[in-house]
Structure 1
Amino acid sequence: MKHMIFVFVALIGITLGQQVKQDEPIKIVRLENEGVNADGSYRWNFESANGIVAEEQGSIKEVEEGPGPDVQGQVQYTAPDGSPISLSYIANENGFQPQGSHLPTAPPIPEDILKALEYKAAHPEEDNL
């Protein structure tokens, strides 16, 4: 869980660093913080005077490897070019999984490669030749 929190804090740090100079304090206009509770759960949210809004909630859940984080959250802000950014994420046994229209996406799989993968999946017996 510490790694997930570090990733999010780093993300917020990068966001703030892009929008303001270090010597300009930004007022927090709303802050709520609950936990960490005895069961490992927590919840927080804040809004800053420059329009950054963020919230996160998390808990500990039992997975095959033992206890692990189950976190979800979102952050919204305006990028330096003026475009609105909205990022949501979950972090669990499958890793950190961000979603946002501003994030880069993988290019589509070329048609020939896709056909080859489909053929291979339909003919697993040929893998033993």
Structure 2
Amino acid sequence: MKFIIVFAAIAAVALAAPVDDSKNAHIIRYDSDNIGTDGYSFAYETSDGTSRQEQAQLKNIGSENEALVVRGSISWIGADGQQYTLNYIADENGFQPEGAHLPRA
């Protein structure tokens, strides 16, 4: 009888544990455009609410100031259920992130 009670208690705890949907997430949209050495772009969205998009373009081609300029953003649902977004630019001035917490509708 004690075994059944202990087993039931362990089963209840295991079933009550939160499920991490990110481990089971799958890609629901993916776009990619590699335009060669001048730049690229891509975007994707997964079933757990994560999305990312990024574009890059080479500027000042052939000069000593040639630089790849990357712009993008990534959004995800945090453990608290809120949506977070990180926008960024990376260029000759370094990585420049800008974050936002967006209340979920």
1:71 corresponding residue in structure 2: 70
Give the aligned length: 82
2:53 corresponding residue in structure 1: 55
Q: Secondary structure at the match of 1:96?
A: strand
Letter of the 1:82 counterpart? G
Larger Rg: 2
Q: Could you tell me the TM-score, scaled by structure 1's length?
A: 0.55
- Structure 2 residues not aligned, in runs of 5+: 1-18
Aligned equivalents of 1:43, 1:60: Cα separation in 2: 12
CA RMSD of aligned residues (A): 2.5
**Structure 1 runs of 4+ with >3 Å offset:** 19-22, 63-66
Q: Percent same amino acid at aligned positions?
A: 30
- Structure 1 residues not aligned, in runs of 5+: 1-18, 103-129
Structure (1 or 2) with the greater helix fraction? 1
Write out aligned runs for 1:103-114 (5 A): none
1:88 corresponding residue in structure 2: 87
2:43 corresponding residue in structure 1: 45
Q: Could you tell me the TM-score, scaled by structure 2's length?
A: 0.67
